[in-house]
């Protein structure tokens, strides 16, 4: 690298600083310049987010890298780079594991990284993140001038500072989310996952969250099973002025009809047999915050009427009490049912439907999110890596293709389960724990969908009604058959059948009950329903 080539590469970036271009494009140009100047096989720009480094842009690394979060405490090289006073190059015999082992693209097998260096970026005197450079050959970086690398890093810092200012709006939403996360952590619950994705459909969803989150509108979150409705609700709460107050959830499907009402509104002592003490309902617990009614389509009609009254006048009564409480609660509800159809079928009150759906928000199915599948896969594999205690877990090219080609009827939840199983299967093929675990297409087990598996285990005649029968009954017949087959394939184990069908166990039981199938009693036995 000569001073001239350095200047030639840096000048366009300096010019970019004053232009309005999307951050992703800005970062791409930066990495592009770095790769033209330095003989690296892979470069990455990572931003420090709490205790983790999040890749914002990568060049030469597997696409799923963008979905990963590298916990600094778990990656000693990244930690050393962050702490160094200037650029740092690791000695070839440095024993520290490399976070990118196996992730460098266009290499058959998984050659470990051999030459590696990087530089911390500081913005306004605070650590902002890292730029890392990796080469697969030893001594590749021998001729690199560290002063030039420092200049590049300074320019990179200016670039990210500019990008951040221009991305101010998005940052504010993220800030709110971080505050909410702190609140949740302080409250002792597990921190929420981030909503991973970059597709147009995903970005449109984020825009809607940023738009409606800060308002007090009641939001009805819809979408197929496993699309991430619960995470969306958390993001809505985090983006609201109520973020510092509790987000209280009630799963309407998981409770028997008699308990839903007392869960929502609370009860006084003696209100019903078993009500031995006075109890606050979820509405009161959520005062000042957000109440999340999950699976709201399952709410019994009688409770729907009471809920509507509370929403209309903001007053609620505990069961068995005649005293009225005033609560300040923002309501968010979710369902994977077509509530409009439920209204037409008389199972859901039209007035409540309109009240809940002040702002309907539809979460797109995974099959409409393109390459987000790979980002999500990266995020889930990073979790697997940590829980299995591995150096790294990567997807080979065929596995990536298989993930992109699958239709994902169970959406993100199905993807998460598929990858958890695949990592275990891939690990099972090794006698010794490998440093980089490679997941292949075969490990994913996507060729045989659960239903096909069930048919293979328990062959059953197809008894589906013919085309003269109304659609609804045909769908129900199909659902009944799919559930029976999954149960047969898993020896009547409801949890296993639910996993195979990629639905919540509680939802499966609820659906089975609606379809008139025998469902497990509370103590786990199978009991017929009336």
Which listed range, 3-11, 225-233, 352-360, 384-392, lies at the site for ligand ATP (CB under 6 A)?
Answer: 225-233
Cβ atoms of residues 467 and 439 within 8 Å: no
Q: Binding to Mg ion (CB under 5 A): which residues in 226-245?
A: 230
Which residue(s) pair with 52 in the sheet?
49, 71
Angle, helices 229-238/200-212, rounded to nearest 10 degrees: 40
Provide the 3-class DSSP secondary structure of residue 225: coil
CB of 446 to ligand ATP, least distance (A): 17
224 near Mg ion (CB under 5 A): no
Q: How far is the CB of 392 from ligand ATP (least distance, A)?
A: 20
Q: Is 336 in the site for ligand ATP (CB under 6 A)?
A: yes
223 binding ligand ATP? (CB under 6 A): yes
Q: Which parts of 58-87 interact with Mg ion (CB under 5 A)?
A: none
Q: Fill in the per-residue mask, 164 to 193: x = in contact with ligand ATP (CB under 6 A), - = not in contact.
A: -----------------------------x
Mapping DSSP to helix (H, G, I), strand (E, B) and coil, where does residue 239 land? Answer: coil
Q: How far is the CB of 196 from ligand ATP (least distance, A)?
A: 4
**Backbone φ and ψ of 335, nearest 5°:** -160, 150
Of 37-45, 107-115, 168-176, 501-509: span binding ligand ATP (CB under 6 A): 501-509
Q: Is 82 helix (H, G, I), strand (E, B) or coil?
A: helix
Cβ closest to ligand ATP, residue 162 vs residue 483: 483
Q: SS3 for 257?
A: helix
Candidate list 54, 231, 285, 340; residue touching ligand ATP; CB under 6 A: 231
- Asked if 230 is part of the footprint of ligand ATP (rule: CB under 6 A), the reply reads yes
Work out whether 226 is an interface residue with ligand ATP (CB under 6 A). Answer: yes
Name the residue with the smallest CB distance to ligand ATP.
Answer: 228
Look up residue 232 and give its two tokens. 């969306």
Among 24-32, 110-118, 218-226, 388-396, the segment contacting ligand ATP (CB under 6 A)? 218-226
> Residue 456 and residue 304: Cα distance in Å, rounded?
43
CB of 357 to ligand ATP, least distance (A): 17
Residue 318 is encoded by which pair of tokens?
Answer: 């505990």
Q: For ligand ATP, which stretch binds (CB under 6 A), given 4-12, 125-133, 179-187, 408-416?
A: 408-416
What tokens appear for 1 in the block?
């690298």
Contact segment (CB under 5 A) with Mg ion among 62-70, 175-183, 200-208, 223-231 equals: 223-231
Among the candidate windows 3-11, 124-132, 223-231, 476-484, which touches ligand ATP by CB under 6 A? 223-231
Distance CA 287, CA 292 (A): 12
Beta strand pairing status for 359-362 and 526-527? unpaired
Q: How far apart are alpha carbons 213 and 232 in whole angstroms?
A: 10
Both tokens of residue 250?
Answer: 């009630």
Q: Which residues contact 499 (CB under 8 A, 6 or more apart)?
A: 417
Q: Which of 72, 100, 74, 63 is nearest to 386 (CA)?
A: 74
Binding-site member from 384, 416, 441, 454 for ligand ATP (CB under 6 A): 416
CB 234 → ligand ATP: shortest distance, Å?
A: 9
CB count within 10 Å of CB 212 equals 20
Binding status of residue 195 toward ligand ATP by CB under 6 A: yes
Burial of 281 per CB tally in 10 Å (0-12, 13-18, 19+):
buried
Of 89, 229, 325, 330, which one interacts with ligand ATP (CB under 6 A)?
229
| Nearer CB in complex with ligand ATP: 336/400 | 336
Measured from the CB atom, is 488 or 506 closer to Mg ion? Answer: 506
Question: How many angstroms separate the CA atoms of 430 and 47, rounded?
Answer: 34
Q: Are 361 and 208 in contact (CB under 8 A)?
A: yes
Q: Choose between 113 and 227: whose C-beta lies nearer to Mg ion.
A: 227
249 in Cβ contact with 292 (< 8 Å): yes
Tokens coding 88: 């740092």
Where on the chain is the footprint of ligand ATP (CB under 6 A)? 193, 195-197, 223, 225-231, 336, 376, 379, 412-413, 416, 503-504, 507
Contacts with Mg ion, residue ranges (CB under 5 A): 230
């Amino acid at each position: 690298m000569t001073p001239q080539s350095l200047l030639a590469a840096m000048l366009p970036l300096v010019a970019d600083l004053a232009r309005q271009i999307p951050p992703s494009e800005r970062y791409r140009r930066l990495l592009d310049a770095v790769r033209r100047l330095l003989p690296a096989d892979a470069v990455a720009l990572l931003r420090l987010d709490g205790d983790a480094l999040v890749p914002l842009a990568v060049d030469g690394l597997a696409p799923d890298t963008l979905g990963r979060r590298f916990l600094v405490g778990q990656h000693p090289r990244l930690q050393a780079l962050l702490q160094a006073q200037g650029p740092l190059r690791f000695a070839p015999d440095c024993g520290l594991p490399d976070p990118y082992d196996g992730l460098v693209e266009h290499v058959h097998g998984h050659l470990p990284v051999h030459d590696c260096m990087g530089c911390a970026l500081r913005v306004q005197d605070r650590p902002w993140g890292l730029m890392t450079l990796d080469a697969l050959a030893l001594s590749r970086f021998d001729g690199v001038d560290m002063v030039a690398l420092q200049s590049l890093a300074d320019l990179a810092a200016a670039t990210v500072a500019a990008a951040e200012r221009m991305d101010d709006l998005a940052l504010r939403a993220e800030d709110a989310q971080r505050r909410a996360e702190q609140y949740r952590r302080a409250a002792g619950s597990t921190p929420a996952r981030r909503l991973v994705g970059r597709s147009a459909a995903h970005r449109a969803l984020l825009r809607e969250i940023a738009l409606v989150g800060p308002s007090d509108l009641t939001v009805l979150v819809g979408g197929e099973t496993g699309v991430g409705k619960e995470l969306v609700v958390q993001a809505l709460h985090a983006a609201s002025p109520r973020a510092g107050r509790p987000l209280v959830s009630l799963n309407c499907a998981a409770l028997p009809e008699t308990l839903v009402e007392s869960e929502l509104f609370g009860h006084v002592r003696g209100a019903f047999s078993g009500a031995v003490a006075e109890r606050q309902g979820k509405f009161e617990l959520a005062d000042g915050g957000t109440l999340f009614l999950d699976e709201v389509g399952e709410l019994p009609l009688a409770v729907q009427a009471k809920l509507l009254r509370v929403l209309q006048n903001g007053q609620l009564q505990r069961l068995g009490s005649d005293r009225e409480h005033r609560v300040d609660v923002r309501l968010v509800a979710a369902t994977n049912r077509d509530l409009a159809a439920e209204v037409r079928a008389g199972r859901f009150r039209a007035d409540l439907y309109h009240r809940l759906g002040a702002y309907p928000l539809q979460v797109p199915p995974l099959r409409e999110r393109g390459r987000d599948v790979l980002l999500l896969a990266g995020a889930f594999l990073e979790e697997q890596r940590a829980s299995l205690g591995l150096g790294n877990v990567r997807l080979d090219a065929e596995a990536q293709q298989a993930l992109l080609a699958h239709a994902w009827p169970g959406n993100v939840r199905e993807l998460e389960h598929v990858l958890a199983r695949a990592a275990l299967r891939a690990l099972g093929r090794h006698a010794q724990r490998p440093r980089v675990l490679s997941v292949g297409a075969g490990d994913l087990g996507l060729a045989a969908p659960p239903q096909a598996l069930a048919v293979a285990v328990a062959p059953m005649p197809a008894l589906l009604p013919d085309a003269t029968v109304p659609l609804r009954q045909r769908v129900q017949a199909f659902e009944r058959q799919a559930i029976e087959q999954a149960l047969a394939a898993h020896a009547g184990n409801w949890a296993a059948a639910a996993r195979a069908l990629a639905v919540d166990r509680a939802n499966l039981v609820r659906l089975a009950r609606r379809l008139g199938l025998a469902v497990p009693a509370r103590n786990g036995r199978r009991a017929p329903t009336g």
